[in-house]
Amino acid sequence: MAENKTVSVWLALDDATVDNGCMWYLPGQHKTALDHEQLWDTSVKKGFYFAIRGLEESGAVPAEVKQGGFAIHHCLMPHRSLKNGTDKPRRGIAMHFMDAKVPDPPMLKILPEGAAPVLRRRTS
């Protein structure tokens, strides 16, 4: 499946802890693409917009990352971050690496123009 050739890298600009909303992963749930649901209209509210409804999350594990460290996950790995419960920031840079032949993911269609630049190398 071409759409399964994506890896995400999150570079921590600040420490990411359980208290400030680090990423959580569901080990062993990366073998099948799960349906996502758009949560809200992006012209009304900022933020990330997709969720997997009805997924059992009791086995989720936190991935705390120190400033300057990074977390890597495959596109099929269910993941989430929770609200920052501290007065300190949890900033990071997300990078998504995919096969150049993979079509743009559906989520790009809902983002404002220019919000997610896609760089591609010529393949011919």
Domains of the chain: total: 1
| Residue 117 located in a structural domain | no
Sole residue written with tokens 């809200």:
40
Tokens of 19: 């208290």
| Residue 39 located in a structural domain | yes
- Residue 1 clears pLDDT 50, i.e. is over it: no
pLDDT for 16-66, tens place per residue? 999 999 988 888 777 776 666 776 676 776 666 666 666 667 788 999 999
68: number of CA atoms within 13 Å, CB side? 0
In which domain, by residue range, is 92 found? 2-110
In angstroms, the CA 123 to CA 70 distance is 29
Run of H or E residues at 38:
strand 37-38
| Residue 72 located in a structural domain | yes
| Residue 118 located in a structural domain | no
Return the CATH number at 19.
2.60.120.620
- Position 2 scores a pLDDT of 43
pLDDT for 62-95, tens place per residue? 999 999 999 998 878 888 888 899 999 999 998 8
- Position 87 scores a pLDDT of 96
| Residue 69 located in a structural domain | yes
Closest by CA to 38, choosing from 52, 56, 24, 26, is 52
